[in-house]
């Protein structure tokens, strides 16, 4: 049983880390697009902001378990199956991208307008303003927000077990629910609590360190 729990833990860590990495890779550029095209932004384009913003909000409003089902055709197209570890990473990455895009945009908005105007006064290009001002200044807030997203992904990964996604959630369903093994269920709950607390503690520490 210990081996099963360790295997499930590694699967959960793989799901969360991979989906977080993909979410950052896709979500941050999307957040930058939202930030610069927002009303009175660096590249004011209301229709672009409205289309992307509304699309993100629409998908974010869908419960994750339903999102998994909706993405089954895409998941099958990409990995050849709708169940298993690799299949669970697809909807997790999709959710991660949407969540990180929105929280990153909100982090960018917290930057004092004076800093942006100073960069513009010196003739800085939009690209330089993003790289030299927006990203560095928003990093502490962005880390705190990303920490919350990662915690959500841990919960989502557990939900993926309900549809055969592997990880701790799958083990909890098979042993804790179907076989009513309360010991296994208790161990999984404790592991999830430790994971969440660890991520939250490290995220807060890193954010505070950068803020000094």
Max mean pLDDT range (20-29, 66-75, 164-173): 20-29
Are 73 and 90 contacting, i.e. CB atoms less than 8 angstroms apart?
no
What's 128's DSSP letter?
Answer: H
Range(s) of the domain holding residue 36 = 1-211
Q: Is 85 exposed, middle or buried (0-12, 13-18, 19+ CB in 10 A)?
A: buried
Which one has a higher pLDDT value, 184 or 96? Answer: 96
pLDDT value for 55: 93
Q: What is the pLDDT of residues 123-136, one digit of tens each?
A: 888 889 999 999 99
pLDDT value for 194: 94
Asked which of 40-44, 61-65, 87-91 is least confident by mean pLDDT, the reply is 40-44
Q: What is the pLDDT of residues 9-36, one digit of tens each?
A: 999 999 999 999 999 999 999 999 999 9
- Summarize the confidence of residues 155-172 as an average pLDDT: 81
Does this model's pTM top 0.85? yes
Are 67 and 59 contacting, i.e. CB atoms less than 8 angstroms apart?
yes
pLDDT value for 114: 87
Domain count, the chain: 1
- Alpha helices for 38-163 (secondary structure H): 46-60, 64-70, 72-79, 85-109, 113-121, 126-129, 135-160
> Which CATH number is 27's domain given?
1.10.3720.10
In the predicted model, is pLDDT for residue 190 greater than 90?
yes
Label residue 212 by pLDDT band (50, 70, 90): low
């Amino acid at each position: 049983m210990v081996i099963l729990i360790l295997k499930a833990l590694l699967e959960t860590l793989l799901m969360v880390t991979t989906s977080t990495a993909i979410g950052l890779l896709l979500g941050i550029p999307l957040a930058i697009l939202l930030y610069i095209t927002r009303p009175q932004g660096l590249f004011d384009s209301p229709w672009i902001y409205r289309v992307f913003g509304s699309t993100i909000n629409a998908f974010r409003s869908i419960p994750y378990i339903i999102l998994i089902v909706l993405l089954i055709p895409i998941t099958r197209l990409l990995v050849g199956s709708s169940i298993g570890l690799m299949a669970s990473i697809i909807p997790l990455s999709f959710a991660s991208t949407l969540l990180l895009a929105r929280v990153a945009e909100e982090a960018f908005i917290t930057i004092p307008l004076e800093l942006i105007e100073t960069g513009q006064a010196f003739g800085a290009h939009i690209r330089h303003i993003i790289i030299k001002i927006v990203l560095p200044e928003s990093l502490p807030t962005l880390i705190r927000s990303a920490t919350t997203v990662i915690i959500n992904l841990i919960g989502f990964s557990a939900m993926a077990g309900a549809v055969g996604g592997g990880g701790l959630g799958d083990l909890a369903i098979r042993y804790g629910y179907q076989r009513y093994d309360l010991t296994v269920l208790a161990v999984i709950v404790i592991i999830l609590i430790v994971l969440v607390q660890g991520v939250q503690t490290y995220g807060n520490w890193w954010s505070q360190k950068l803020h000094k």
